[in-house]
Amino acid sequence: MTETNVSSAISTATAAALEPAKETKDRILDAAESLFVANGFQATSLRRITTMAGVNLAAVNYHFQSKEQLILAVMVRKLEPINRRRLSLLDRFEAETGPHPPSLEKVLAAFLQPIVDDQAAGVDLGSFPVLMGRLYTEPGGLMQKLFSAAFAPIAKRFKDAITRALPGAGPLDIFWGMHLTIGAMAHYLARPPALALLAGRDAAPVPNPSQSLGRLVAYMAGGFRALVSRSADSL
């Protein structure tokens, strides 16, 4: 089995439904992931995790040093395959265009598509993207550590691709564009409940994910380009 299949982890989790063959550390990770996805970080106590995993409470603090680092380990494990797909998509797009850089839209799509695809395919992400979005503003430098552990390499790769896709853009344009784009993406992923209040009765609050990709890419690319032409104007 590749991942846990607990897609509907209700609050009352029965003990030790996970494979007993795995080591303690992995069983903690599996239980933690399914409970985090279902109920969030704070609402998930270490006691619930260890009960579900069928291990002792103190095992968490032995294998991981704290709840925070357990969260980190869960996120890194979940993010790695997604980031691999992001890079391979970017590689493909760049190969397709030969010596010319791919369009900005393609670069952005390479980053967004793996997650949107998973959502569309009904992969058991649960509220994982929500957690990802929330981590971004979590205290304690958690995101900073996660960034170093999982995002730093692919960030440089995408930053270079965006720079080449936007001739004439200054470093500040790239920086601000990425910053605001990440915010828009995180907010899209988090799908906050307040979103429904924005929508009015005209818009579907959870539209088809595959249709969302086009809108996301259009908005972000438009924002990037507006930044660049603003810089050009002010010269």
Partner DNA sequence: GTCTATACGATGATAGAC
Partner DNA sequence: GTCTATCATCGTATAGAC
Nearest 5°: phi and psi at 64?
Answer: -110, 160
The answer to whether residue 67 forms part of the interface with DNA (CB under 7 A) is: yes
Binding site partner of 21, from DNA, a copy of itself, none, Cβ cut-off 5-8 A by kind: none
The answer to whether residue 145 forms part of the interface with DNA (CB under 7 A) is: no
| Residue closer to DNA (CB basis): 64 or 93 | 64
By CB under 7 A, the residues from 197 to 216 that bind DNA are: none
**Of positions 130, 149, 154, 209, contacts a copy of itself by CB under 8 A:** 130
Supply the minimum distance, in Å, between the C-beta of residue 59 and DNA.
4
**Of positions 17, 25, 105, 178, contacts DNA by CB under 7 A:** 25
Task: Show the 3-state SS of the chain.
Answer: CCCCCCCCCCCCCCCCCCCCCCCHHHHHHHHHHHHHHHHCCCCCCHHHHHHHHCCCCHHHHHHCCCHHHHHHHHHHHHHHHHHHHHHHHHHHHHHHCCCCCCCHHHHHHHHHHHHHHHHHCCCCCCCHHHHHHHHCCCCCCHHHHHHHHHHHHHHHHHHHHHHHHCCCCCHHHHHHHHHHHHHHHHHHHHCCCCHHHHHCCCCCCCCCHHHHHHHHHHHHHHHHHHHHHHHHHCC
The answer to whether residue 9 forms part of the interface with DNA (CB under 7 A) is: no
The answer to whether residue 37 forms part of the interface with DNA (CB under 7 A) is: no
**Of positions 18, 29, 46, 150, contacts DNA by CB under 7 A:** 46
By CB under 8 A, the residues from 180 to 199 that bind a copy of itself are: 180-188, 190, 192-195, 197-199
Q: Which of 227, 215, 187, 207 is nearest to 108 (CA)?
A: 215
The answer to whether residue 215 forms part of the interface with a copy of itself (CB under 8 A) is: yes
- Under the rule (CB under 8 A), what is the footprint of a copy of itself? 39-40, 42-43, 130, 133-134, 136-139, 141, 143-144, 147-148, 151-152, 155, 159, 171-172, 175-188, 190, 192-195, 197-200, 202-203, 207, 214-216, 218-227, 230
Which residues are at the interface with DNA (CB under 7 A)?
7, 23-25, 44-48, 55-63, 65-68
